[in-house]
Amino acid sequence: MRSKEQIDEIIRLLELKYPLAECSLNYEKDYELLFSTRLAAQCTDERVNVITPALFERFPSLEAFAGADVSEVEKYVHSCGFYRSKARDIVRCAQILLEKHNGRVPDTMEELLELPGVGRKTANLILGDVFGKPAVVVDTHCKRLSNRIGLADNLNDPTKIEMELRKILPAEKSSDFCHRLVLHGRAVCNARKPRCEDCCIKHLCQTFSG
């Protein structure tokens, strides 16, 4: 496990390297981020961004999604994989948002987790990006880098990693830090062959041996 001084330095260096800590999913409305994140499960953000413009144009409101034929939504999201369950979840989620939340995306973990297809990763993303609340989004990049760097102690369970990171990260920086791990994971610390020679935090990494 890294010391507090090391963690603070890791945060500082990643802030310098990736000043714009933004979600890579494109959206304009809160519920669009919610639906895009559902589509991104087992799919790349790039692919989701390709298909959502047509999807959101065809269904321009929550009411349109709530009244949609699931089979038609399936046609728009087919290339994202698991399209049947994703289309079903999106339509049902729209209905619940209108029925129980007055057409608004809820701002608590408990309420978000009650929505179809929403797990802790999605809920944290919404809480952090939409509502500016402390959040820890544990996706594949966050999971991989947290273990490699030494922020998590060989943990595989995303919830356990989330809880560990919550203990050591400043709450106000946690959401942006997770976005920066994604950026660093894509650019440098990839799964198969990390480019340690190009890493700005290699001297603070638990697994760097150079």
Point out the residues that are catalytic: 121, 139
Sign of CA dihedral 2, 197, 44, 33: positive
The token pair that represents 40 in the structure block: 């991104």
The 3-class SS string of 154-195 reads CCCCHHHHHHHHHHHCCHHHHHHHHHHHHHHHHHCCCCCCCC
Please check whether residue 38 is in contact with residue 86, taking contact to mean a CB–CB distance below 8 angstroms: yes
Reduce the DSSP state of residue 106 to 3 states and report it. Answer: coil
The token pair that represents 120 in the structure block: 């802790």
At a CB cut-off of 8 Å and minimum separation 6, what does 121 contact?
A: 37, 137, 138, 139, 158
